[in-house]
Amino acid sequence: MLTGANNDGARGLLQIRKHGGFTVIQDPLQAQASTMPEAALALHSPDYLLSLTDIGRLLVELERTAC
């Protein structure tokens, strides 16, 4: 869940978790608009709570290990 001014994506994260996926939320303290990551954190604890830079690193690592 990245920066955003709405909370609509927060429920989607619950569905991802429910179906076996893992969740990543941008640290609200570093978000340009913190509403969406804060709403997501209010609903559940993510697998990862990271800065944008660290989210990028995580995605690169996941892609590398998936191949």
At 3-16, the pLDDT tens digits run 677 777 888 888 89
Nearest to 23 by CA among 55, 53, 1, 51: 1
Tokens of 22: 């893992």
Q: Would you list the domain boundaries of the chain?
A: 8-66
Confidence label for 23 from pLDDT (cuts 50, 70 and 90): very high
Collapsed DSSP state (helix, strand, coil) of residue 35: helix
At 29-60, the pLDDT tens digits run 998 888 889 999 999 899 999 999 999 999 99
Helices 8-18 + 35-43 axis angle, to 10: 40
Q: How far apart are CA 64 and CA 16, in angstroms?
A: 22
The predicted structure's pLDDT at residue 42: 93
